[in-house]
């Protein structure tokens, strides 16, 4: 199965996904490609495939992305090869989790309607506070990220599930895990 988890920047989706891997055996992470700079806490090939804009454009020209998007001045994309390992020919390799921006998640849902889409919701004021407190982006980058929040929140109703992450990470992780476990047990 494909599970697509999305949220505005700062909502905690990546942290939730990390916790899901501890709770649910058999989940695999789809590593997206990006042109943005690597943060000190990230590992190339594990968190993202960090590539040059030229390489990203070659993948676009070769139609190798299932989805891609320019977000905050950088490109992000999911290579079709990452997904095909799990959905082509009934692979038993595991269940794939995609950590995507909102537009990318909705693009995947169109290509793979069987995918389960989950939107992580946090009040806008809290998102802005979290972005500032994590100190991984400049003020300019934070401004770019907050300018997208309204559009992203307006699209939450296009997702199969909405999980509230404003009352504590553990609750959001448990609710997301419950959704995934229910889908896997059907």
Q: What is the pLDDT of residues 26-42, one digit of tens each?
A: 899 999 999 999 988 89
Phi, psi for 163 (deg, rounded to 5): -115, 130
In this prediction, residue 109 carries a pLDDT of: 95
pLDDT at residue 97, as a whole number: 95
Mean pLDDT of the chain: 89
- pLDDT interval class at 16 (50, 70, 90): very high
CA separation, residue 94 to residues 1, 86, 97, 184 (Å): 8, 7, 10, 11
Q: What's the mean pLDDT in 78-83?
A: 91
Q: Topology of domain 2-184, per CATH?
A: Rossmann fold (3.40.50)
Taking residues 152-175, report their average pLDDT. Answer: 94
Number of Cβ within a 10 Å radius of residue 19: 18
Is the pLDDT at 137 greater than 80? The verdict is no
């Amino acid at each position: 199965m494909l599970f697509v988890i999305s949220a505005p920047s700062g909502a905690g989706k990546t942290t939730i996904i990390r916790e899901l891997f501890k709770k649910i055996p058999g989940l695999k992470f789809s590593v997206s490609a990006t042109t943005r700079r690597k943060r000190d806490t990230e590992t190339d090939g594990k968190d993202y495939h960090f590539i040059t804009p030229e390489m990203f454009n070659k993948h676009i020209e070769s139609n190798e992305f299932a989805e891609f998007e320019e977000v905050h001045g950088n490109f992000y994309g999911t290579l079709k090869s990452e997904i095909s390992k799990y959905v082509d020919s009934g692979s038993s390799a595991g269940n794939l989790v995609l950590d995507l921006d909102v537009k990318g998640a909705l693009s995947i849902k169109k290509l793979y309607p069987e995918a389960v889409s989950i939107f992580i919701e946090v009040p806008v004021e809290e998102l802005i506070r979290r972005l500032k407190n994590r100190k991984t982006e400049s003020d300019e980058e934070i401004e770019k990220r907050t300018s997208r929040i309204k559009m992203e929140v307006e699209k939450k109703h296009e997702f199969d599930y909405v999980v509230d992450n404003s009352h504590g990470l553990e609750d959001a992780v448990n609710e997301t895990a419950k959704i995934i476990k229910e889908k896997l047990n059907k």
